[in-house]
Structure 1
Amino acid sequence: MIDTDPYFAERKALLRQEALVQRDKVARSARADAAQQSARHFFDGVALEPDDIVAAYWPIRDEIDCKPLLTRLMDSGQPVCLPVVVGEDDPLELRLWEPGQPLYPSGFGTLAPAETAPLVEPDVVVIPLLGFDRLGTRLGYGKGYYDRTLAAMRKSPLLVGYAYAAQELEFIPREEHDLPLNILVCESGLRRFGA
């Protein structure tokens, strides 16, 4: 559902505050288990071809930890790339993380492959979320990095939201450029959206 509300930005800002509160309520003691369970659900429910490139992320703030997912992807030989912010209004660079190569600080508390790593277009994009709703609408931090990145891609990757179950919101308004998730993965399972 596309939103035409003139107060759209204000509504989204309030939803971001609500989502941060919801995410903060996830018990610290439960987070490591949630990360492991989410990685299991991803591998149980997301079909990957051996050469499919998976874009994941290095977690920041209180995002669900996707390092267990990254470890399993790398250990299985699946090609993985990580995002790098190169400019405030630019799409993310998606750099291939080649086996045995170190990661480096890349701003915002994240780690990424070196500047010399190959740039790739992934087949699957695992997106950290502030919130999501039952329609697969995703809520991010509001900077538009993933929106710009997805719009600039030549292919249409599978979009997989990665979050805690507690981050589900009742309804998130969607603008025309907001691509919905295909799949949501959280500690309680996997949910598919759309046709």
Structure 2
Amino acid sequence: MTDEVGDAKRALRAELRQRRRNQTSTEREQATTALTAHLVDLATRTAARSVSAYLSAETEPNTRPFLNWAFAHDVRVLFPVSRPDGLLDWSVGDGESETRGLFGLPEPVGELLSPMAINDVDLIIVPAACIDHGGMRMGWGRGYFDKTLGSMEKRPPVYAVVFDSEYVESVPRERHDMPVDGVVTPSGIHEF
């Protein structure tokens, strides 16, 4: 990583974290309602019977109402579980029990499946710090999803979830960064 790109990413991540912390509860609730409708539409439109998604942390766009919908509609949900070696294991959560993972992020309690388990899903929903108009994803700097997506031989559609202000003109980019097929924001679904 060049220092210049790394510095630009660090500065942008700090700004985005602060912006997320400054959101009002009303803004968050409105965003959650809209995001949930779009995620349900996406899962329905793609006829996904199995999805990979994540348990949103407090300041992230809230995926939990969508996950509740998935459980209620017998859509199998695979959740990432961070490993110290930089790979992701997966778990089929029960939608109720969770713990704090390696980086203090919420993770499901359940049987651990290997990194290969993601190869069986119909749709992948990933977190992001921001997404640019060309589909380039900037994550939070640990590279877990870039490694996972980059190693998949045949990957299903991948959509990131961000707030409207995080869908931007361009993001600092490095060779290992992986693009997504679409982004879900409170204002809609954008495909690349």
TM range (shorter): 0.7 to 0.9
Check if 1:12 corresponds to 2:43. no
Check if 1:111 corresponds to 2:107. yes
Mapping for residues 11-160 of structure 1, pairs under 5 Å: 11-46=8-43, 47-51=45-49, 53-87=50-84, 89-97=85-93, 102-107=96-101, 108-114=104-110, 116-119=111-114, 120-121=117-118, 122-160=121-159
- C-alpha root-mean-square deviation of aligned residues, in Å? 2.2
SS of residue paired to 1:132 = strand
Letter in 2 for 1:17: A
Separation in structure 1 between the aligned mates of residue 17 and residue 113 of structure 2, nearest angstrom: 34
Unaligned runs of 5+ in 2: none
User: What percentage of aligned pairs have identical amino acids?
Assistant: 25
Q: Greater share of strand residues, 1 or 2?
A: 2
Separation in structure 2 between the aligned mates of residue 62 and residue 167 of structure 1, nearest angstrom: 13
Residue 178 of structure 1 is matched in structure 2 by 177
Q: Greater share of helix residues, 1 or 2?
A: 2
Letter in 2 for 1:36: T
Letter in 1 for 2:160: G
Number of aligned positions between the proteins: 185
Superposition deviation, residue 90 in structure 1: 2.4
Separation in structure 1 between the aligned mates of residue 74 and residue 26 of structure 2, nearest angstrom: 31
Cα pair 1:86 1:93 within 8 Å, conserved: yes
Unaligned runs of 5+ in 1: none
Cα pair 2:5 2:173 within 8 Å, conserved: no
Structure with the bigger RCO (C-alpha within 8 Å, sep 6+) is 1
Shift in alpha-carbon separation, 1:163–1:101, aligned structure 2, 3 A: closer
Letter in 1 for 2:80: P
Separation in structure 1 between the aligned mates of residue 96 and residue 112 of structure 2, nearest angstrom: 11
